Structure 1
Amino acid sequence: MGGWMILPIIGLVGTLVFTLINLYGVVTEWEGIKAIIAGDNQTTAALRLSVAGSFFGGLALIGLAALCLYRIFTYSPSVPRLMTIFYIGLVVVSLAELAGTPISPT
């Protein structure tokens, strides 16, 4: 493995760490998540799709990043194709999160 692989490895580890930290909010804010899932009022019901998309997108990114790291360290020839899928998924999930973020009136 060449020295140039250190940058993608750092990026993948950073993605894993920061996405896990972000998803930890589901655990710490469980009461709010339950209210959103229940959709008792119009506001919480409107957040349901955003929260679900963010959660499942985060899980997908964690899985892809872990798989990429595994494949890098096992010297798999599928790494370039898998990394391309990871980066496209990262862009898609990031844009979906941006689009799903509610804008509060000022």
Structure 2
Amino acid sequence: MKKFACLLLATALCLMLAASSVSAKEKITMKDDLGRDVTFESPCERVVFTMENALKTYYAVGDPKNLAALKDDKWMRKLSEDIFPVVDPDFERKLTVNITGDQINLESLA
């Protein structure tokens, strides 16, 4: 439960940062799940989602054009086939990434 709460908090922070009007010259610093400070030189330009509920939140506050990829999950696509295409006309053409265990195949994002 604690891990889920941390993930939810990190997702919320990322979404707030993505929705804010941060200039490209401004650095963004936040804490990761291990409590380390992580600094980004510029706002995120591409986003990858592996959880459907986080994707719903992103679509509520973020720009669908920044969504680069999502988890290759037929269940998620079936469950949301009536919702996401309304918000994002390019939803069906989004790149999907494979996850083995808890590791994302980074080569599929290149």
Please identify which structure carries the higher helix content: 1
Higher relative CO (Cα under 8 Å, sequence separation at least 6) belongs to 1
Q: Which has the higher strand share?
A: 2
Give the alignment's TM-score, normalised by structure 1.
Answer: 0.28
Of structures 1 and 2, the larger Rg is shown by: 1
